[in-house]
Structure 1
């Protein structure tokens, strides 16, 4: 998945910018922005959402990835580097965006909420990945932890603790906000558990192998056409394997994501007589004012229930 947005173009100097994605505390003049709020920088929509929910009115959140853009290849401009240097808290996920990892390491930021510290990355046993050429190898494991609500709840608690350290004057508010969010995430987890309990089929096919944590949490099996790159062309051998899987496991639907080309999914679906639908990996959203983590996840649940023939 490649970022082509010129506003998020690469720059060697930009790498340092990400390091500053930190939280600003209100307990001291040095830890608070000019408007009295903590300045937090994030690098991924789910982390932006969590930071906004936990921080509430005390935190101003800036996400380095524009709405609708792909976050995997995020690189920093000189301007972003300078802005990040002024941030109070950096909230990021190690292993997803190399430029961010390097910037954080070089900057030596005082306040960092690093998501894998709260929910470790794993490789998914038995997961069928498909072709990897042209994709992104995640050496540290699958980074898409937010697609399991219980894992995102742990990240929310980590952000709570870091904000409380930066801004102890509002620690009670951060604790209350985090508790509310965690409660909602656990309720969402129950919705998925109940909604997928009666499915007739537990195998789903998608162009992007982003749904391993979701599959493991809810006892499903993900089969990815192109591994980590949703726009790569599958090899003839891979297509033959997919056709066999579709027939053996009675797959009804080929999923693609809204921000990637549906060409491969639609061609494969047409050849095999299947339908297509969108399954959103939530790496970014086009309009955060209209679509939130919860609305997108519930839409994903709805699509999975249809594809897997829930009763």
Structure 2
């Protein structure tokens, strides 16, 4: 009889014992670092699809549910993901969230003033922006979106702090430590597991960083132009030779004046490659390079094709460095 009662007691408690912390993440690079620490002990719910861009994202009811159900929300911050501000506030998740940009120990860059030129003329053709590259934007459901995300984004300009912090291995370390501390507080029974994963992540990151630096040193003098000014952390970390960008904000299509300026920059700096981005239509890049021998290749700042797992962030760094090497080498 006692054995039966014990069995029933264990059965009743098992759902609680097996419950995993639920972590909602904003974008895929955040998910990669969370996954490295969480392993199979926590559930990750990503808000922005891997094929979408946070620059023009709008929340759906299903995204709001992820926030409500999460034990912790991990996001980059307001300057990249303004669409998350009000939902976090409304769900009373602000204090329990991890805002990457606000963490102690972050090495942050400011957008350079010279990158603001061309912003006015970019507005000229903004209404004609080609959304073909936004594969994940479900326009049939667009009317049901929380448009506060888009309205807030209208004020998004590339000035102040550059929010693309996931492109810095040093900043990735900072987030990994913060995620470890939060998971330990949520799930103390697996403290050793999370701390071991952090140690493994830091060791692997040091090795990957050194490997990539050695490879990119061979092309760090080659001039190139990027689709938008969002790679400064990676470029400065590895000493690459970025000489310009097509647009300061990727949701804006450059006007005729900006196109002429870029063509002049290509000639003046002997640019070897102009990078596109898979989240946005490459049509403007093709237009820029008509009649020239300049190479082009996609540069994916979000790692949309990287397979999720504990080593995903390392694969992401490999993928990004490989994209640079393929066009600059």
TM-score normalized with structure 1 length: 0.78
Q: Would you tell me which structure has more helix in proportion to its own residues?
A: 2
Q: Which moved more, 1:113-122 or 1:188-197?
A: 113-122
C-alpha distance after superposition, 1:153-189 (max 9, x if no partner): 2111111111112222212211111121122222222
**Pair 252,187 (structure 1): closer, same or farther in 2 beyond 3 Å:** same
**Pair 106,202 (structure 1): closer, same or farther in 2 beyond 3 Å:** farther
Q: Aligned partners of 1:126 and 1:81: how far apart in 2? A: 36
From 74, 94, 99, the equivalent of 1:91 is 74
Work out whether residues 276 and 297 of structure 2, in 8 Å CA contact, stay in contact via their aligned partners in 1.
yes
Match of 1:16 in 2: none
Match of 1:285 in 2: 304
From 68, 72, 81, the equivalent of 2:51 is 68
Match of 1:123 in 2: 110
Superposition pairs of residues 40-55 of structure 1, within 5 angstroms: 40-55=23-38
Match of 1:27 in 2: none
Q: Aligned partners of 2:321 and 2:234: how far apart in 1? A: 10
Work out whether residues 51 and 156 of structure 1, in 8 Å CA contact, stay in contact via their aligned partners in 2.
yes
**Pair 261,33 (structure 1): closer, same or farther in 2 beyond 3 Å:** farther
Q: Aligned partners of 1:56 and 1:181: how far apart in 2? A: 11
Work out whether residues 23 and 43 of structure 2, in 8 Å CA contact, stay in contact via their aligned partners in 1.
yes
Work out whether residues 199 and 308 of structure 1, in 8 Å CA contact, stay in contact via their aligned partners in 2.
yes
The answer to whether residue 246 in structure 2 is matched with residue 225 in structure 1 is yes
Q: Aligned partners of 1:87 and 1:33: how far apart in 2? A: 16
From 245, 260, 283, the equivalent of 2:265 is 245
Q: Aligned partners of 2:193 and 2:256: how far apart in 1? A: 56
Give RMSD over aligned pairs: 2.7
From 68, 81, 105, the equivalent of 2:89 is 105
The answer to whether residue 130 in structure 2 is matched with residue 146 in structure 1 is no
Work out whether residues 37 and 59 of structure 1, in 8 Å CA contact, stay in contact via their aligned partners in 2.
yes
C-alpha distance after superposition, 1:187-238 (max 9, x if no partner): 22212321122326343201122211111112224311111216x4323332
Cα deviation for residue 251 of structure 1 reads 1.1
The structure whose Rg is larger is 2
Q: Aligned partners of 2:246 and 2:158: how far apart in 1? A: 17
Superposition pairs of residues 1-311 of structure 1, within 5 angstroms: 35-95=18-78, 96-109=80-93, 111-118=96-103, 119=106, 121-125=108-112, 128=115, 131-132=118-119, 133=123, 134=126, 136-138=156-158, 141-199=161-219, 201-222=221-242, 223-229=244-250, 232-282=252-302, 285-286=304-305, 288-289=307-308, 292-309=312-329
Unaligned 5+ runs, structure 2: 1-14, 127-153
TM-score normalized with structure 2 length: 0.74
SS across alignment from 2:247: coil
Unaligned 5+ runs, structure 1: 1-31
**Pair 211,186 (structure 1): closer, same or farther in 2 beyond 3 Å:** same
Work out whether residues 221 and 241 of structure 2, in 8 Å CA contact, stay in contact via their aligned partners in 1.
no
